Amino acid sequence: MRVSTNQIQDVAINSILDQQSKLSNTQRQISTGERITRPSDDPVGAARIIDLRESLDTTKQYQDNIQEARARLTIEEGVLDGIGDTLQRVRELAIQANNGSQTAETRDFISREIEQLLEQLLGMANARDNNNEFLFAGSITAIKPFSRRPDGSYAYQGDDGQRMLQVGPERQIPVGDSGTDVFRAIRNGNGIFTIQDNPGNRGSGIIDPGTEAGTFIPGVYTITFAHDPLDDSITYQVTDATGAVLIPAGTPYASGDAIIFNGVQTAIEGEPADGDSFVIAPAVNQDIFTTIQDYIVALRGLEGDAPGNIKMANATNRLLPALDLAMGRVLEVRANAGARLNALDAQSEINASAILKFEEILSDIQDLDYAEAVSRLNLELTGLDAAQKAFVRVQNLSLFNHL
Supply the mean pLDDT for the chain: 85
Predicted confidence (pLDDT) per residue in 100-137, tens digit: 888 888 888 999 999 999 999 999 999 999 889 999 99
Length of the chain counted residue by residue: 403
Digit-coded pLDDT (tens) for 151-164: 888 999 999 988 89
Tens digit of each residue's pLDDT (9 = 90 or more) over 284-338? 999 999 999 999 998 887 777 788 889 999 999 999 999 999 999 999 999 999 9
- Give the separation between CA 165 and CA 142, rounded to whole angstroms: 17
pLDDT band at 229 (very low <50, low <70, confident <90, very high): confident
- pLDDT of 104: 85
What is residue 2's predicted lDDT score, i.e. its pLDDT?
Answer: 52
State the Cα–Cα distance between residues 358 and 8, nearest whole angstrom: 51
* 59 residue type, one letter: T
CATH of domain 54-188+322-354: 1.20.1330.10
pLDDT for 88 beyond 90: yes
Residues 16, 265: Cα–Cα separation, whole Å: 103
Separation between Cα atoms, residue 382 and residue 19, nearest integer Å: 10
pLDDT the model gives residue 105: 87
How confident is the model at residue 89, as a pLDDT?
Answer: 97
What is residue 47's predicted lDDT score, i.e. its pLDDT?
A: 74
Domain map (residue ranges) of the chain = 5-33+373-402, 54-188+322-354, 196-283
**Residue 3 clears pLDDT 70, i.e. is over it:** no
- Taking residues 377-392, what's their average pLDDT? 60
Look at residue 258 in the predicted model and tell me its pLDDT.
95
pLDDT for 398 beyond 60: no
Position 40 scores a pLDDT of: 58
Other Cβ atoms within 10 Å of 116 Cβ, number: 9
What b/e string do you get for 321-349 counting C-beta neighbours within 10 Å, with b at 16 or more? bbbebbbebbeebbebbeebbebbeebbe
Q: Which pTM does this prediction carry?
A: 0.78
Which one, of 307, 371, 325, 282, lies nearest residue 91 by Cα?
325
Whole-angstrom distance, CA of residue 73 vs CA of residue 79: 10
List, in order, residues 6 or more apart from 189 with CB less than 8 Å away.
195, 209, 210, 283, 318, 321, 322
Does the structure show a pLDDT above 90 at 239? yes
358 confidence band (pLDDT: 50, 70, 90): confident
Residues 6+ apart with CB under 8 A from 174: 162, 163, 164, 340
pLDDT tens figures, 133-149: 999 999 888 999 999 99
Query: Is residue 45 pLDDT above 80, yes or no?
Result: no
Residue 18 has pLDDT above 80, yes or no: no
* Predicted local confidence at residue 43, as pLDDT: 73
Mean pLDDT of 9-14: 60
Strand partners, 401: none
pLDDT (tens digit per residue) in 174-225? 998 999 999 998 999 999 999 999 989 999 999 999 999 999 999 999 999 9
Average confidence (pLDDT) over 45-51: 74
| Res 102: pLDDT | 84
